Amino acid sequence: MAAAEAFKRLVSHVILDLDGTLLNTDGVMDEVMKKFLVNHGKQWDKRSVHRIVGKTPLEAATAIVEDYELPYTVEEFVKEVTPLFSNEWRNIKGLPGATRLIRHLRSHGVPLALASNSPKKIIDSKISYHHGWKESFSVIIGGDEVSMGKPSPEIFVEAAKRMNVDPSSCLLIEDSLPGVTAGKAAGMEVIAVPSLPKQAGLNNLADEVINSLLDLHPEQWGLPPFQDWVEGTLPIEPWYIGGPVIKGFGRGSKVLGIPTANISPEGFSDVLSEHASGVYFGWAGLSDRGIYKMVMSIGWNPYFDNTEKTIEPWLLHEFNEDFYGEELRLVIVGYIRPEANFPSLESLIARIHKDREIAEKSLDLPTYACYKDAQYLKSVSHLNNCRV
């Protein structure tokens, strides 16, 4: 970037939230509360997460006790569930791009702070399972070290104070409305990375809203740019999914003129929750036909307003017949762009064809081409011979 005018605003320090920003805690919340409530004859509603996202632990506990009319005081409830959550901290995975961002900023000497509504002891426990995280932060501050949690700006003001920097020189990355509100009140530049879709107010309040940490461009804030993009694509740690081809929404061929090969998300819903919505590419193996280049979308398809997260692969080959019921296996190796809405069907179709061009060209690069030989595409077991 040649000119300073291209920057959104120059910053020197970065502050990160933890839950929902760096760690995928929603899955653990669902599992723990599902099991806990079953013992009380109640069923966990995933929509409850919307009410507690960004809240302090005490506020979240209060909301759950009230919403589910549990026979506990808030203090009793916290005492009951705390050990259940503690047993799960080791299972929480980093969100897409989290480790990449932390390593990048640390390697370039950018001062980092971690500020979360969680108690400091719990923060330390959570990040202890992620190699290199703890030593990357010059400041780690928990909600029990300030008098008021988010949306009060106190925790972020204190983080800046401990780093000996003015809040206006800090870039905050947050996932929730309370966190974004706190950051702006502290006088910081704020990027929102929503952990839950359709959080009203984020677009108007945050300085930038991105789909995932994969879409962060530090150079826009005067920070060192990532150097790992390859001809407009981002190599990712490959992941593998598969299943029989099923009938989808009926819009691939009929509406878009693009025949997608859908597989049911039921068998790998946990895998989908670990990956950011967006457009990816890789290799597809059909049990009785061969191996083909593939581009696919993951997400809610905002143009069609899906109610659940889906995966829709497009095999880049002309087939003369349908292959419903055949075993389809996918090796996803690269990322193109975030999920987006479009003003018209024509603009959506044009963008999909652009994604196809990018995928077809990129899969010929050595970085991605070697995965065509992955044993997973041909047999039950797979062998990862490539390194990203």
Active site residues: 17, 19, 312
Length of the chain: 388
Confirm if 150 and 54 have CB atoms less than 8 A apart.
yes
Going 124 to 127 to 129 to 135, the CA torsion angle's sign is negative
CA distance 69 to 379: 50
Rg (CA), the chain: 22
